Chains A and B, each alone.
Chain A
Amino acid sequence: MTNMLVINLLTASVAAATPLLLAALGELVVERSGVLNLGVEGLMLMGAMTAVATTIATANVALGIISGMAVGAALGLIFAFLTVTIRADHVVTGLAMVLFGDGLSRFAGHGLVGVDVHQTVPPVLVPVLANIPVIGPVLFQQNILVYLSYFAVAAVWFFLYRMRAGLALRAAGEKPSATDVAGWNVFRIRYFAVMFGAAMAGLAGAFLSVGYLNTWADGMTAGRGWVALALVIFAGWHPIKLLGGAYLFGAAYMLIVQSQVLGGAFQFVSGYIMQMFPYVLAIVVLALMGRRSIRRRSGAPAALAVPYFREER
């Protein structure tokens, strides 16, 4: 009985972690190229709203997800234009993007609030692997976007550490002038990175709306975009460590939802106090990371949020 409960909790944690993982993985690539996109929350909201709207209009959830990613990438293009080409301040532009995404998703989605989405991403059992005790139900009886997130972690790792283009991307975040001299186009790298990250944020939003909560509500991401940003730092800008961090936070979210079921001490704590947990955890984790980074290098790209001027090479 207790075993079942734990397995259910872990299964739910993996699902709750997936939007964080997808968004954070995208942001990791963006930051590795030297751009800080604080607009993840707004991009996720736009992705979530677009996915619901398209899914309801076309009765096709795949189209919904793709359109969510496309809208994310389009907003990423705007962000890249402002920060890479015009060289506006990354922090302020990111905040403006959050407002933009929040406002536009509220406006465009005001007819969709609370409408149930009937075509959702179905759970798919992975043959053989789904039958492994504990690991099977937790990792391999999820929906297809969860499997995509495993694949995405591996793909990003392979790209960053085993491909020449990935090396160039990391170099653009460390020393853009040297990357430029080596014949890579820093602007193009950063444009691609930002658009990839924004599309991933759109995907994370789409997962939340059509693959997890199955509805649209104003501001439904509830700070997950910001938590994704904290996760990137927590992971020391490394995709594999990100996996662990995302699941830790997924479990934290699940503890809140399940606190009544778990009983014991949990039922005496107010739900509002419980909801503080992921945010406090993020701060504690950053503090622990910070202590370590005083001794060692934390892994932050050297040229993070520094605009690149070719003329000042």
Chain B
Amino acid sequence: MRLEMAIPLWLWRTGAFIISVLLGLLVSSLVLVISNTPIYATYRAIYTGSLGSLDALQGSLVYAEPIAFTGLAAAIAFRAQVWNIGGEGQMAIGAFGAALIALNTNLPDPYMLLAVVVCGAFCAGFWGLLPAALKVWLGVNEVLSTLMLNYVAILWIQFLVFGPWRDPSGGWPYSSYFPTQADLPPIAGSLDIGVIAAPCLAIMLAFLLRFTRWGFEVSVVGHSHASARYAAISVSRVVIQVMVCSGAVAGLAGIQQVCGTAGRLYVLTPGYGYLGILVSWLAGHNPVLVLVMAVFYGILLQGGSALRIAQIEPSLVSVIQAAVILFALAGLTLAARYRPRQVSNMKARQ
């Protein structure tokens, strides 16, 4: 007799994800054994450093903030099967747009922040428009063009902070501090308003993608260009819209970094754009799940910086992250293929 259990799909996927993460940690432990790093001490340092106290948890959320934005940016594009790998560059250009206003104007209190955010998102949206235009009119593969533009954007920031915008009082690669009107309002401790903005944006996006005509067009383009054309949806228009939105949202991550965390322009810590892509994929491009995965990643990153304090090589955490991701990738792919029997089918048979 075959034992058949009615497992809901979400539980099946969650289970597959958790098992994959555990397997990834197991394999990472092998790396620890080989490199003679104490396993228990390492994992304990990661745990206490990321979840152990209220401060640690706050640190994890600070890391999760930019990843949530880049993850949402990736989710918009990937829904339409537009491979925007340029979150990294769009984030940097967003930070540039923010600094452009913050360093060169002195607007009064509420208008400054508004102008900073609008200009940052606008510049980042433009950085998303470039590869979209190249794709639509010249047939340039967006994976490569967005990638190349990442390097251009980061070099541009380097040029500014080492050159014309360098803080005259310090030798470090930073610009001068922004006026205080440009700082994001703090919520608690080191957390800023981004920690509220990200969930709001995620819910808005979820609504847009699920319940509006535009969201439907995005899904149709994502499934098949041929069906989109048959339904009189302009694929070019959707691709451009999606890339501009995606760029602008990724830009918010950059704005959050310079106006919330640092208070000045600097060469942004590389990697958040790429992490956003992975986070979005792990979340199945579902905006609300992107938040969950971003927090998961924030915990890993905060744990990594805690390793530095425990005098364990901090790059270890990037090995653990990558191992976890590779396993999650395999696990979720397999979980999607070998789905459990649907509950409704079971009932119909009884």
B268, CB-defined interface residue at 8 Å: no
B274 near A99 (CB under 8 angstroms)?
yes
**Category for how many chain B residues contact A:** 35 or more
Q: Tell me the complex Cα distance, A251–B250, Å.
A: 33
Q: A96-B329, A279-B149 are in contact. Are A286 and B144 (CB under 8 A)?
A: yes
A128, CB-defined interface residue at 8 Å: no
Interface of A is mostly: helix
Interface size on A, residues (CB 8 A): 44
Q: Which of the listed residues B31, B140, B278, B325 has the most CB atoms from chain A within 10 Å of its own CB?
A: B140
A104 near B333 (CB under 8 angstroms)?
no
Q: Tell me the complex Cα distance, A283–B315, Å.
A: 32
B326 near A229 (CB under 8 angstroms)?
no
A91 near B147 (CB under 8 angstroms)?
no
Which residues of A have CB within 8 Å of B329? 82, 88-89, 92-93, 96
Q: Tell me the complex Cα distance, A100–B320, Å.
A: 9
B162, CB-defined interface residue at 8 Å: yes
- Contact check: which of B144, B319, B325 meets A229 at CB < 8 Å? B144
A272 near B330 (CB under 8 angstroms)?
no
Which residues of A have CB within 8 Å of B152? 276, 279-280
Q: Tell me the complex Cα distance, A286–B271, Å.
A: 25
Q: A92-B329, A276-B152, A283-B134 are in contact. Are A226 and B147 (CB under 8 A)?
A: yes
Which residues of B have CB within 8 Å of A283? 134, 140, 144-145, 148-149
Q: Tell me the complex Cα distance, A282–B149, Å.
A: 10
Which residues of B have CB within 8 Å of A100? 319, 322-323, 325-326
Q: Tell me the complex Cα distance, A133–B315, Å.
A: 49
Q: Tell me the complex Cα distance, A294–B271, Å.
A: 34
A273 near B159 (CB under 8 angstroms)?
yes
B278 near A272 (CB under 8 angstroms)?
no
Q: A102-B318, A110-B313, A223-B151 are in contact. Are A96 and B326 (CB under 8 A)?
A: yes
A291 near B148 (CB under 8 angstroms)?
no
B278 near A92 (CB under 8 angstroms)?
yes
Q: A233-B144, A270-B163, A273-B159 are in contact. Are A104 and B85 (CB under 8 A)?
A: no
Which residues of A have CB within 8 Å of B149? 279, 283
Q: A92-B281, A99-B325, A100-B322 are in contact. Are A86 and B330 (CB under 8 A)?
A: yes
A293, CB-defined interface residue at 8 Å: yes
B316, CB-defined interface residue at 8 Å: yes
A272 near B274 (CB under 8 angstroms)?
no
A82 near B315 (CB under 8 angstroms)?
no
Which B positions have Cβ atoms within 8 angstroms of A? 31, 35, 83, 85, 134, 138-141, 143-145, 147-149, 151-152, 155-156, 158-159, 162-163, 271, 274, 277-278, 281, 313, 315-319, 321-323, 325-326, 329-330, 333-334, 337
List 18 additional contacts besides A95-B277, A103-B317; criterion CB under 8 Å: A78-B326, A86-B330, A88-B329, A89-B281, A95-B278, A96-B325, A99-B271, A99-B321, A107-B313, A107-B316, A226-B147, A272-B163, A276-B155, A280-B148, A286-B134, A286-B141, A290-B134, A294-B138
The 5 closest A-B pairs by CB, nearest first: A103-B318, A100-B322, A290-B139, A272-B159, A106-B315
Pull 30 A–B residue pairs with CB atoms less than 8 Å apart, ordered by A. Answer: A38-B143, A95-B274, A96-B278, A96-B325, A97-B326, A99-B325, A100-B319, A100-B323, A100-B325, A100-B326, A103-B319, A103-B322, A107-B316, A107-B319, A223-B151, A226-B148, A230-B148, A272-B155, A273-B155, A275-B155, A276-B156, A279-B152, A280-B148, A280-B152, A283-B134, A283-B149, A286-B145, A287-B138, A290-B134, A294-B139
